[in-house]
Amino acid sequence: MPDDALGRPYGVPARRAPVLPNGVLGMLIFVATEIMFFSGLISAFVIGKSNAIGGWPPPGQPRLPVEETALNTAALLASGVALYFANRAFQRSSANTKRLLLLAIGLGGFFVLFQGAEWVALIREGLTLTSGQLGGFFYLLVGTHALHVVAGFIILLYTYRRLSEGNLDRFTFWPAQIFWYFVVGVWPVLYWQVYL
Amino acid sequence: MIRLARVCASALLLSVAWAADLAYACPSCASPLEENRQAFVDTTIFLTLVPLMMMGGFIWWLRRRFRAMDEAPEIPVPESLLRDAGRFSKGG
């Protein structure tokens, strides 16, 4: 016989969807700290750049590959878009989820490989961590971002594995997406500040 | 007496704000380059606003979500649970 205020039997808990899953809240807090971390790095770079005597980039230093990196930027942005559509397909339980997630991972992998090739070329041209202010800032900012891309890439691979096994839930997929959107979103700011 | 000491301590702390120039905590402030000084001001504003915007955005989003949840109906309790609430059920 029902006996609580809502007419439910004693001992049956009230059920309500959580306002924010724990994983999502944790990832949001982490991303907030990361945004502040990158904001600090970018601010240091902006002040360092404005303090350079003789203009920026400093004379005698290699030029950064603006056009090639624009292509790479487009690949990373496309990866974010692919992940967005993968999530929409996931919500509809569509078979396209796997394909779109794989596309997002592939584009992220392309970004990492392309950037690796770019670094090899720049090091050959003489741009190293100790070659000057440009090299120091470049590898610090872009390198930190690259580390995040690799971490995000591993998280997406894990998500893909869970999806392939048929046990991916939105409480796992959502935090992974938040991290990847952060990685994708911070890159155009870095590109604008460092390359242009 | 304690209250007076607190007021004095607060006044002393506030007076430090007027003596900020003595601290030389800002390496860009004495720069001869106008662009450098401006960059310091701009990044200070940026670093002040970013966390405030993030917190404000999060609170705004939470409020929207709470409102949406209040309007949404509760998830119904499955019939199977209603029939048998276990050994602690008074009706059982």
ipTM over 0.85: no
State whether A9 and B28 contact (CB < 8 Å). Answer: no
To 10 degrees, what angle do helices A170-190 and A66-91 make?
A: 160
The candidate with the shortest Cα–Cα distance to A36, out of A139, A160, A182, is A182
Handedness of CA B63, B68, B70, B71 (dihedral sign): positive
Q: How far is CA A26 from CA A29, A32, A145, in A?
A: 5, 10, 20
Q: What is the pLDDT of residue B70?
A: 80
The CATH code of domain A22-195 reads: 1.20.120.80
Spans of all domains in chain B = 2-74
Enumerate the residues of chain B whose CB falls inside 8 A of the CB of residue A174.
none
Using left for φ > 0, alpha for ψ between -120 and 50, and beta otherwise, residue A93 falls in left
B77 lies within 8 A of chain A by CB: yes
Spans of all domains in chain A = 22-195
What whole-number distance in Å separates Cα of residue A111 and Cα of residue A72?
6
Q: How confident is the model at residue B78 (pLDDT cuts 50, 70, 90)?
A: low
Q: What is the pLDDT of residue B13?
A: 86
If you average pLDDT over residues B37-43, what whole number do you get?
91
Which two structure tokens, joined as six digits, stand for A111? 């970004």
Q: How confident is the model at residue B33 (pLDDT cuts 50, 70, 90)?
A: confident
pTM above 0.90, yes or no: no
Gap from B32 CA to chain A (nearest CA, Å): 9
The candidate with the shortest Cα–Cα distance to A36, out of B35, B53, B37, is B53
Q: How far is CA A37 from CA A112, A167, A191, in A?
A: 21, 34, 17
Mean pLDDT by 10 residues, chain A (196 residues): 55 65 93 96 92 82 90 96 96 92 96 95 92 91 96 96 92 95 96 92
* A 9-48 near B (Cβ less than 8 A): 9-12, 14-17, 19-20, 28, 32, 35-36, 39-40, 43, 46-47
Contacts of A168 (CB under 8 A, 6+ apart): A90, A159, A162
Alpha-helix residue ranges (DSSP H) falling in B1-33: 2-18
A22-78 confidence digits (pLDDT tens):
999 999 999 999 999 999 999 999 999 888 877 788 888 888 999 999 999 999 999
Output the average pLDDT for chain A: 90
